[in-house]
Amino acid sequence: MVLSQPSGIFRNFTPMDSNGSYQWAIKAENIRRSFGTLEVLKGVSIEVPKGKMISIVGRSGSGKSTLLHILGTLDYPDQGKVEICDIPIAGMKSKALASLRNKHLGFVFQFHHLLPEFSALENIAMPALITGMNKKTAYKKADELLGYLQLSERSTHRPNQLSGGEQQRVAIGRALMNEPDILLADEPSGNLDTETSIQVHQLLRKITTDMGKSLVIVTHNTELAGLSDVVYEMKDGILGKAN
């Protein structure tokens, strides 16, 4: 799969060099999280530089998805500090956290969670429509993303008319729609075959370069994680850089 080049495509998107003056996309210090008597995260710290792709590998149950949910403000740590684009989230109420997520974060999951009754174009445009953007503008932005993702010919197709890889590319487009600074991806290729998995990880790598996004990817695939700038490994709730 050869993706389109960025020049001349993103007419309706903010220029890459205008996306904030912060140094660290995410900073987390001494994160601890327990469920009952089970301590899942044991003092985890991580820094995600602006515009870099970070992967976290580890076995199922090692705590990597729990960490990702905390970094994405979808869960709260029992202890520790998290900053998103230099903004401390401690003490934020749910409405303020939701606003921060909408502005700074995009999410990609193992299962695409596309709305079955809507087309690829409509699914990508949905986050912008929810925030109140008019339909004409939202559809223009979504159409640009479809072109970048090599899905223009699939714009009117519903999810059940798309392959698994196409569905996941639509999900990635949806995550990019509101122009977040950061993408968080939880096993984005875990439900795909080997060749399509490679394509999805290469796409995420390209997004970092073309759009200046910061990416944090949780995966069990160490080979695909090797496309990242930095690879961390989670073992028994403790995070360290992979060898």
Q: Is residue 227 part of a domain?
A: yes
> What is the spatial distance between Cα 135 and Cα 128, in angstroms, rounded to a whole number?
9
User: What's residue 2's pLDDT?
Assistant: 43
Q: How confident is the model at residue 175, as a pLDDT?
A: 94
Instruction: Indicate left, alpha or beta for 237 from its phi (over 0: left) and psi (-120 to 50: alpha).
Output: left
pLDDT tens digits, 100-131: 998 899 999 877 789 999 999 999 999 999 98
Vertex 64: Cα angle to 61 and 65 (nearest 5): 85
Burial class of residue 230 (count of CB atoms within 10 Å of its CB; 0-12, 13-18, 19+):
middle
Residue 13 has a pLDDT of: 59
Q: pTM to 2 decimals?
A: 0.86
Q: With respect to residue 17, please indicate whether it lies within any of the assigned structural domains.
A: no
In this structure, is residue 15 part of a structural domain? no
Between CA 114 and CA 173 the distance in angstroms is 11
Residue 186 lies in a domain: yes
Residue 199: inside a domain, yes or no? yes
* Residue from 183, 190, 242 nearest 216 by CA: 183
Report the share of the chain in percent with pLDDT over 90. 58
Domain boundaries, position 228: 22-241
pLDDT band at 1 (very low <50, low <70, confident <90, very high): very low
Q: How confident is the model at residue 18 (pLDDT cuts 50, 70, 90)?
A: very low
Lowest-confidence region among 32-46, 74-88, 152-166, 187-201:
187-201
Q: Which of 68-72, 139-143, 222-226 has the lowest mean pLDDT?
A: 222-226
Q: For residue 10, tell me if it sits in a domain.
A: no
pLDDT tens for 134-185 read: 999 999 999 999 999 999 999 999 999 999 889 999 999 999 999 999 999 9
CATH number at residue 231: 3.40.50.300
Number of domains making up the chain: 1
Residue 7 lies in a domain: no
Fill in the DSSP letter of residue 110. Answer: S
